[in-house]
Amino acid sequence: MRNSDKVAKALGYIDLHFDEELTLEQLSNLACISKYHFHRLFTAVNGLSLHQYIRWLKLKRAANQLLYEKDKSILEIALNAGFESHEAFTRAFKLACDETPSKFRQESKWKHWDSIPYLLERAGSLKVTPVIKDFPGVRLAIIEHRAAPETIPQSIEKLIAWAKKNNLSKPKAGEIFSIPYDDPKTTLTEQFRYDIGRIVPENMRLTGQVIEKRLPSGRVAIGRHEGSHDNLDRTVYAMYHDWLSSSDEELADLPCVFCFQNFSREVPETALKTDIYFFLKNK
């Protein structure tokens, strides 16, 4: 089954149960997609995050109620859609269809609700066809970043200071990895998780702020991002949308991983090269 068909299966379930509390684990299990990838693949296929899609379903139902249940007040419809106030509902509704609920009820123009909006930034002509390789597996010394995305440089500095203290040489291309568990654009700051680490010898004792983590050996799909790290997500979503959605490859239960081939202290930002790893199940 193609991954887009797996997402469609989850989509059909959401359409029937969007008033219930739906968890990422529940939906990823239903779709048979790793929980680390389900949210990004869902967003890449539909152009909306899971939260945005559920919000759109509730607003579309509210639009129907505004037109065909005139005995219901706007406040009653707003509360039924999960909004805490008339004002919050009005802001969200106007953002979705360029009209306030009261004006929409009067004019009955349905055109904005004919199709699901595509809110993900489009990659334009960006096409990423990954190369599938066998990865040997590596041992990493990791700094776990559990704070706002904009403070990631502070965690990088901690890793550099630790490496200097332990007399490690400057890392070479392909020796620095990061594990972005969450998308900073769709994750609350207090829930954001990001690991930054470097390859270390098997016999090296890890002390201080770092912990050991391993990237396993096996098949990986590798796509290349060129340019600023600020828009890595464009290449990530292009891989999900253009390659993975139409592929029957099964993802391992691991997040995607960034492998840095050079560094901003060495080359201009436009010359940065970052490989994006999708770990795959063995066939």
Instruction: Give residue-wise pLDDT tens across range 142-162.
Output: 999 999 999 999 999 999 999
Phi/psi class of residue 257: alpha, beta or left (left: φ > 0; alpha: ψ in -120 to 50)? beta
Phi first, then psi: what are they for 83, rounded to 5°?
-95, 150
- Tell me if 143 sits within 8 A of 208, measured CB to CB: no
Integer Cα distance of 134 and 137 in angstroms: 9
Instruction: Please indicate, yes or no, whether residues 229 and 162 belong to a single structural domain of this protein.
Output: yes
Range of the domain at 164: 131-279
pLDDT at 180: 96
Instruction: Please indicate, yes or no, whether residues 257 and 149 belong to a single structural domain of this protein.
Output: yes
The residue from 64, 84, 113 where one domain ends is 113
| CATH of residue 157 | 3.20.80.10
pLDDT in tens, 36-59: 999 999 998 888 889 999 999 999
Counting the structural domains of the chain, the total is 2
Q: Which residue has the higher pLDDT, 238 or 119?
A: 238
pLDDT at 123: 54
Integer Cα distance of 139 and 200 in angstroms: 6
**What is the pTM (predicted TM-score) of this model?**
0.84
CB-based contacts of 13, cutoff 8 Å, min separation 6: 27, 30
Within-domain flag for 218:
yes
3-state secondary structure of 188: coil
Question: Do you know the residue count of the chain?
Answer: 283
